[in-house]
Structure 1
Amino acid sequence: MSECEAVIDIVSAFFNVSGREIRNPTRSPAPVARVRQIGMYAAHTVLQIPMKNVGCGFARDRTTVQHAVNLVEDWREDREFDGIVDQVERLVRVLVRREQI
């Protein structure tokens, strides 16, 4: 399983959103798109996967990943949202990178 697939599985379970919906290459409803954006952000920032590769893993292009990273960075100014993303990042570190917390 690729690292992006693992991240998709993690955010899918965390947010209770269908992995199939996240993987769907067509336009998604806003809640699904937001979960995908958080997943792309985590794949790029935590796992250090280049944006082009994250795009391939999420069936999107590099510019979509760049947009997602920028959005999530902006949204992290909200304390509650930041806490949620922090939890996702920790899960990705532990479950994908196999690091200890």
Structure 2
Amino acid sequence: MTVRIETHHSHAPRERLPSVHDDAGLAQVLALISRERKIPIRLLVHVSRCQADTARARQLAMYLAHVSKGISLTAIGAAFGRDRTTVSYACSLIEDLRDDARFDAELDRLEAHLMAGGENE
């Protein structure tokens, strides 16, 4: 799967920044979250905070990229134009939300889909 994503990071526009299309696992996570939450990938990786539902979907993508795909917090932060501590916070927040049985079941389903290689995309 090839996903080409333009990111709009405010710093160093001429230097090549790590991007989400550099990592197939991250691209797979973004495609899944974009489809499931009906939010364009460009908004998921945008540096602005956006609306609450977009921010939550971004946090979910960060969490799944780290937990399901094993991508480092630093690499995820670089791809999203954020600091690794922001990614760590997002992962902790999503982990806390897993106390809700319905949310936990949704995450289990998404993780299983990613672990299976994302067939039927």
User: Secondary structure of the equivalent of 1:36?
Assistant: helix
TM-score norm. by structure 1 comes to 0.87
Q: Which runs of at least 4 in structure 1 moved beyond 6 Å after TM superposition?
A: none
| Alignment map for 1:1-101 (pairs within 5 Å) | 1=21, 2=23, 3-95=25-117
Give unpaired runs (5+ residues) of structure 1: none
Distance in structure 1 (CA, Å) of the matches to 2:43 and 2:105: 24
Structure number with greater Rg is 2
Number of equivalences:
97
Give unpaired runs (5+ residues) of structure 2: 1-20
1:20 CA displacement: 1.3
Distance in structure 2 (CA, Å) of the matches to 1:5 and 1:56: 14
CA RMSD of superposed structures (Å): 1.5
* Greater share of helix: 1
Identity %: 33
TM-score norm. by structure 2 comes to 0.74
